[in-house]
Amino acid sequence: MAIDETDRQIATALSRLSLFLRSSGWQAAAAKGLTPTQVEILSHLARRGPMRGAALARALGVSAATLSDSAAALVAKGFAERHADPADGRAMLLQLTPEGGQAMAGMPSVPASLQTALQGLTPGDRAAMLRALVTIIRGLQQAGAIPVQRMCVTCRHFRPNIHSDVARPHHCAFVDAAFGDAKLRVDCGEHEEAEDRERARIWARFHDAA
Ligand code: SF4
């Protein structure tokens, strides 16, 4: 299949951004004496609370061995701790310690230079960019190329394009509030995966009404 030149340029742009984010992540992590994977683990635990190692490895798209090594290092540094899962005494949960929470509090969630660059976009461009990224991430998720993401477009609480207000056409049934593309979530703590048929219906309504 011939590659469209626009697709090639988009892939090149994403690759440049990915390199920048990775190098920023390395620098911020190194300043705390951590690796980027360790930061990802702490950040996940901070957002989602205690998790089992297997679920954490799946969410981050890393191997069980990588997760286990990084978790052991975090426990040794006092940033995380393990305890028995109340739902199953044979399973262990990894959880953030107060020291881990403090380490994360000092980490920038968005590099300052990227924040400045994004401020140069119009609100409409920012919303369109987020919508386009959600579409790409969903496509990769559908293809099994990346781990499942907790996005609005796969959430059973998402009601796309049900309001006549063009600025806020969507609705989140969890918080019972209308919102627009600029507020779409890519990793939401309240996300609940919709069933297959419901997910397809949500996507069709979100995508086809654009
Ligand atoms: S619960 Fe979160 S993911 Fe689900 S629709 Fe609401 S904001 Fe989106």
- Enter the tokens of residue 173: 């049934």
Determine the distance separating the centroid of ligand 1 and the alpha carbon of 44, expressed in angstroms: 17
Report the percentage of the chain scoring pLDDT > 70: 99
Name beta bridge partners: 88. 85
CATH of domain 26-105: 1.10.10.10
Output the pLDDT for position 25.
86
Q: Best substitution site from 158, 161, 206 to test ligand 1's pocket, by max atoms within 8 Å of Cβ?
A: 158
pTM: 0.84
Q: Find the DSSP H helices in the chain.
A: 5-31, 36-48, 53-60, 64-77, 98-105, 112-119, 123-142, 196-208
Ligand 1 atom 8: residue of nearest CA: 152
Give the domain ranges of the chain. Answer: 26-105, 121-208
Output the pLDDT for position 210.
62
- 77 pLDDT band, cuts 50/70/90, is very high
Span 31-56, pLDDT tens digits: 888 998 999 999 999 988 999 999 99
Name beta bridge partners: 52. 93
| CA proximity to 41, closest of 97, 87, 89 | 97
At residue 79, does pLDDT exceed 80? yes
